Structure 1
Amino acid sequence: MEPSMTPLTWQKSSYCPEGNSCIHIAATPGTIHLTESADPNKTILTTTPAAFGALLTALKKEPAPTSRGNSDNAPVYLRSADTVVTTDRRKWSAFVLGVQAGEFDHFLGRKVDGAAA
């Protein structure tokens, strides 16, 4: 699905490596958008706030990501029924660290369960 014609304001995790290439999140009323800024196709996955909230809650309960050495470039796929956004393990880990720090909670307008103290 394409987001509305209103320009989206994207946010990335503060844990992302230098440069702008990382998983980015934006919101429009009733919809959350995810993209990998380095994706040459500019694919945008859209989801509901409830589904995004469930993702944040699950990720906050996971152990903090650590470097995996040579597998840092291994692909990670974010899927919806008709869209796939591809990133790598390093960028996914940066996103997860941002989630665990509460950097994306404001997209839901509330504190997300499972937040680290």
Structure 2
Amino acid sequence: MPHWQKSSYCGEGESCIHVAATTAPRAAIHMTESADPSGAILTATPDDFLRLLQVLKGEREVTAHRPTAIDVTVDDDLTVRIHADATPGTTVTTDRHRWDTFVLGVRAGEFDHFVAQP
């Protein structure tokens, strides 16, 4: 069972985006939203998660020639949908406030250990 981590910017008892890692049968990073009624769990490679972190920190640009394997879209009603190439058909859904809380944690380096090189 993976150990789920949320951003420290997410208040106690609040619904948030959670991240976990597994190593068997191969390394993978998982993302879910505790308030997502579908219970969707997105799975990505550590490299794909690293690219997402780099984009969210402003260290990497997303262009048509260099897309990320984790796609984030924001609807007009501020619903945030997260998709990953590694888990087609799976969508983690959250709201803009919870997404922004996750991004604050990313920018503070709270999820860097998931992709740290040994």
Shorter-chain-normalised TM-score: which range?
A: 0.7 to 0.9
Counting matched residue pairs gives: 95
Equivalent of residue 21 in structure 2, options 27, 39, 43: 27
Q: Identify the structure with the greater strand proportion.
A: 2
**Deviation string, structure 1 residues 41-95 (Cα, Å, up to 9, x no partner):** 2110000000000000010018xxxxxxxxxx72000012221000000000000
Gaps of 5+ in 2: 60-76
Instruction: Give 2:20's aligned amino acid.
Output: A
Gaps of 5+ in 1: 1-6, 63-72, 111-117
Instruction: Give 1:52's aligned amino acid.
Output: F
CA distance in 1, matches of 2:94, 2:44: 17
User: Given the two structures, how large is their TM-score scaled by the length of structure 1?
Assistant: 0.75
Q: Is the partner of 1:26 in helix, strand or coil?
A: strand
Aligned match of 2:114: 107
Using the aligned pairs only, state the percent identity.
Answer: 59
Q: Is the partner of 2:104 in helix, strand or coil?
A: helix
Runs of 4+ displaced beyond 4 Å: none
Instruction: Give 2:34's aligned amino acid.
Output: S
Q: Identify the structure with the greater helix proportion.
A: 1
Quote the offset at 1:26 in angstroms.
Answer: 0.2
User: Given the two structures, how large is their TM-score scaled by the length of structure 2?
Assistant: 0.75
| Alignment partner of 1:86 is 2:93 | yes
**Deviation string, structure 1 residues 2-52 (Cα, Å, up to 9, x no partner):** xxxxx1100000011341410000000110000001112211000000000
CA distance in 2, matches of 1:90, 1:20: 11
Provide the alpha-carbon RMSD of the alignment: 1.8
